[in-house]
Amino acid sequence: MHIVINGTGVALGGGITVLRRFLTSFVEVDQGRHRYSVLCSKNARERIGATDPRVAFIPSDLLGRSLAARLLAEQVALPLETIARRVDVVLSPFNIGVLASPVPQLLMFQNVAPFTPRVVNGYGVRKKRRLKLLRVFGELSARQANAVVFVSEDQRRTILPWLSIPAARTSVVYTGWDRSFSPEARLDAGPVLQRHDLHAPYLLSVSQFYRYKNLVELIQGFALALPGLPPTMSLALAGSEPEPDYSAEVRQAIKKAGVEGRVRILGHVPDADLPPLYASAAMFLFPSTCESFPNILLEAMGSGAPVLSSDRCSMPEIAGDGALYFNPFKPQEIADLVTSLWADQERLRALSKRGTARAKGFSWNLTAQQLLERLEKIGRS
């Protein structure tokens, strides 16, 4: 079959990772049966890098400019390309699909935020309007799609009531663990730590600076934990900053807590630097309150970092016994868990081993196989 992948929703790190791994795994498991075309922005194309000869890219000048431009590319340019390239089936893996697709379509939800009122209502008018528009297009897309895939059971429970489609048309397909994230990456950590001006021991958190990531509460918890930690312990925050207002709040929280010299904001970290950063961390902290499938947890666990995570949404479903959990809205609870774990190094090492074992249960190739089964099924119907 000729499969077109709707990459119009790819803008920042997580979407790039998902699209890159899809393309790599599809060509590894499909036994040469299919070819692929991807509509995405030129920036996304550059960040995805080299691919198999069976993968073609359809760069669009519209993408990356605005939500309206994305929708124009998705609803007009993509159907025209589908017809011109004689495509058999469409995979739309980023919440919104083609509302008038000329061929069968599989829709996949990645982002649960537009369907989480607590998150939507925490923003100002402009961002709230954008999230509501994304939700409406997601609802319409699900009603038009031949089949719908969620990336966790928690995500399905949250989104399905909004969609007005039968549950039988839906399924869950977990995404995978990238094997470049392993404890062995610690061996290459020296130059990476030097480049980011980091010194062991340090706690690490990786995520874009969105409000629902709860980084302010994490900083408060770190400040409360300091009396029970070594005087050289620092907290490293890695990730891009798409919300300037929230970034300002994060910096203000650092100043207010008096931890300016102990919290390091690393900004965007190149993909190649992440495995050593994870593998060398004393602990990995993930205080997010809204995730569909937190691949970051798999990266941290697979790297051997002891993981402490928010107990909300899909985090316990994905991390299982490979993490310990806290209420992300209670900084004192974060602090107590960090200090108690640091005081028990045997428990810390046991948590690291459980996390590594847990991550190995997830596979991008299995993800690709399950998606291709669904694409082949609707493509033949």
**Segment 202-217, tens digit of pLDDT:** 999 999 999 999 999 9
> What's the CATH number for 183-359?
3.40.50.2000
Q: Is residue 338 within 8 Å of residue 286, measured between CB atoms?
A: no
CATH, domain 2-176+363-380, list 3.30.465.10, 3.40.50.1000, 3.40.50.300, 3.40.50.2000: 3.40.50.2000
Question: Given this model, what pLDDT does residue 6 score?
Answer: 94
For 224-334, strand residue ranges (E) read 234-238, 263-267, 283-286, 307-310, 323-326
85, 84, 79, 80: which is closest to 104 by C-alpha?
A: 79
Question: Given this model, what pLDDT does residue 251 score?
Answer: 98
Question: Given this model, what pLDDT does residue 201 score?
Answer: 97
93-111 burial, b at 16+ Cβ within 10 Å, e below that, comes to: bbbbbbbebebbbbbbbbb
Distances (CA, A) of 378 to 22, 106, 107: 19, 8, 11
Question: Given this model, what pLDDT does residue 348 score?
Answer: 98
Span(s) in the chain for CATH 3.40.50.2000: 2-176+363-380, 183-359
Question: Given this model, what pLDDT does residue 30 score?
Answer: 95
The number of residues in the chain equals 381
260 burial type by CB count under 10 A (0-12 exposed, 13-18 middle, 19+ buried): exposed
pTM for the full model? 0.93
Whole-number Å distance between alpha carbons of 24 and 29: 9
Residues of the chain with pLDDT under 70: 11-13, 64-65
Distances (CA, A) of 327 to 3, 114, 281: 42, 22, 22
